[in-house]
Amino acid sequence: MDLEQLFAGLDSVRWGDVDHAYGEADDLPGIMRALAGDEQQARDALDELWSSILHQGTVYAATAEAVPFLARLVAAGVHPVELLVLLGGIAESEDAYGLPEPGACRAAVVDQLPLILPLFESGDPEVRRAAVWAAGRAGSVSVLPALRRGWRRAEEAPGVRAELLAALAHLDPEGTAATATAAVSADAPDRLRMVALLVCVDLGLPWTPAHQDAMVSLLPAGPHVVDRFDLQRNEPLHYTVHRLLLRDTDRDRSAAYDLIEAALRLPGAEARGEALWAAEHACLISRSAPGRLAGALLSLLADPSFTDTASLLPVLGKLGDQAAGAAPALAALAAMDGEPADRALEVLVRVAPEQAGPLLARDLGRRERTMRAVTGLSGLRPALPLPYGPELVNAIRIRLTEIAGSDEPRGGDAAELAVLLLGWGRQAAAALPEVTAVFQRHPARVARALAAVCPPEHRDETADLLRRAAESGDPDDRYEAADALRALTGETGPLVSVLKEVLAEGARQELPRTAGELGSDGLVLVPHLRAALTPQGDGPRSNPAMNADVQTALALWRLTGDAAEAVAVLGGVLAEAADGMWTRWPVANAARAAACIGAAGAALAPALGPLLDDPVQAPGAVIALRSLGHGLDDARAADLLLSSAERNAEWATALDALGALGPGVLTPEVRARLTALAEGDLRVVDSGLEPEIVPQDERLRIRARELLAAAKD
């Protein structure tokens, strides 16, 4: 191996002028030279290449520069399979950053096809297979003659033949349809049949009983694709269901559901596991899936051959009301010990919350997953409030007593319990003694719950306790105690005193927000609010700092009635955050603040106007601009709001804003779009935190139906 020839020109590339995932790419020459080193060096280099030049599917300017050297290594027999797979991944990437021109990385791979195509004749079937993959992903029709010759040749390796079919379909869909249909035949190798089925569904061919029978006969599908390079299609049942549902026709939906139900009837655990995963995905993208699949899924609970109830939990959590029949089985599992019981209880909270409370009470200290779900304190999802129940309140009282008497710091546990109590308010008044005891140790964690559960007969003594806590100690404790006191009695003096001291201590947006709610009692805080604003000229602000400045500006306006100062601050935030990749929330918060200020903030209109082009920011911008008196007519406003909702971009804000425009904007076209949002089968909310996709989409449907109903009244 002539390394000097392989790496000729490597050091002539200005690697420091091009970037990969981690910045300047001047480390790439060393990484690529390591590919020709010993086995460990090469493995490490391969890992670094995947991480840097094809990071999570993204390609960079440095990627295109590296491609010729990688192709030379392949042609020289240096880790050809691994590097061909990398080249194929580079060629198929649709996610690019900093390229000199669109498609530069794919074009770089196409330029190296003369080094890749001869490997179709390699004596190693894995090299042949990888070469076909890389060439096919390059997307150049110039590859088709070589692919067709390979298909006509008596290729004995099923994996290579399957990859040839996939590549032909990618580059010549129309010309490959008949070939793929014929390859579904039962006399073809199973691996080839499976890829042929995936090609058929990709090409949009009618999904016939023959396709259905072939797919079911090949389940479990995993073994037939276990080492395929095409990771997008490495779960064939899941992928096929996905593609059929996206066709959005009654026939294809029925075919997808029939396929899942047939797979659920198979006896093997592996095939059923694939079916459950496909069913769960179907519920995430199709509104009719829960109703159609619930019967088949619930029947598994009565099937003696099905013993893994825990494997049903993810999909049951996405069935909504349709899973009510599973409540007894969930309750039985939740009554057991261990992590599966906790997971079952979390699902039961979604399916039958009235049954979940007593079970949570029975083992409150060991249901961490369920507690995170019902409180939402993890920040990963909204809370799932439980209905009030005496058993659960008693269990909480016992836990609070343990926390109050513990020498360990257990403020987090106290905070979770406080969320439940806060939701029940005075219904949970029996817990007042225990909350009071915990308050002595963890004031900030339970202050609001203390005020919420306090009955009238204990109001004075609780107020005294909160008042004393607001006078000295940790600033967070003092603030929470003073704010809870305000909630309990309306008293603002202690809160004003605390805010005077803590406003300037950091970017906590709840502090200025609270100050702005105090009316005339908060006027004394105006100088402190001004002092809390981030000094100009100190460099870029963090998102928390910008958010705090927005709330401070809004508080100043609410307290003084003078918009000029607030408008200047908001304008500064909008200007600073306008071009940032991660500044969505400061921009959205500034738009909301501008809407509150109204016509007096008209100077902000030029900064808000460009937000209309962003579906995520458009709803807030529409509200703000109309509040400022900007000339945004009803028709355009309705179109922008509906477009945001249709793209699952701030749909709640968009539909609320559409409702605020009044029934006059609900033209036949607007009603038709609302009807599609409410009644279409494909979910509009199709991304985000997985446990929340179905509930959020159902809430969208309800809101859209409400708007349609209002149009009829």
Q: Where are the domains of the chain?
A: 388-491, 506-605, 633-713
- What are the Cα distances from residue 616, in Å, to 139, 188, 261, 555, 653? 33, 49, 38, 25, 10
pLDDT tens profile 84-104:
999 999 999 999 999 989 999
For 151-174, give the DSSP string.
HHS----HHHHHHHHHHHHHH-HH
Longest Cα separation, the chain = 91
Distance (Å, whole) CA 526 – CA 30:
59
- H or E element that contains 95: strand 95-97
Instruction: Please tell me whether residue 698 adopts helix, strand or coil conformation.
Output: helix
Please give the pLDDT value at position 518: 96
Number of Cβ atoms within 10 Å of the Cβ of 660: 13
Tokens of 80: 């050809």
- Give the number of other CB atoms < 10 A from CB of residue 487: 15
Say if residue 379 is exposed, middle or buried (CB neighbours under 10 Å; 0-12, 13-18, 19+).
exposed
- In sequence order, which residues have a C-beta less than 8 Å from that of residue 354 and are 6 or more positions away? 387, 389
Exposure string for 413-427, b = 16+ CB within 10 A, e = fewer: bbbbbbbbbbbbeeb
Identity (one letter) of the amino acid at 214?
A
Which region among 270-284, 288-302, 495-509 has the lowest average model confidence (pLDDT)? 495-509
**Segment holding 58, helix H or strand E:** strand 58-60
Dist CA 356 CA 326 (whole Å): 13
* pLDDT tens-place string over residues 607-658: 999 999 999 999 999 999 999 998 789 999 999 999 999 999 999 999 999 9
**What confidence tens digit (pLDDT) does each residue in 157-200 have?**
999 999 999 999 999 999 999 999 999 988 899 999 999 999 99
> What are the angstrom distances between the C-alpha of 403 and each of 372, 396, 440, 443, 710?
18, 10, 11, 13, 50
pLDDT in tens, 352-388: 999 999 999 999 989 998 998 888 875 556 678 889 9
Contact predicate 346/317, CB 8 Å: yes
How much is the pTM?
Answer: 0.88
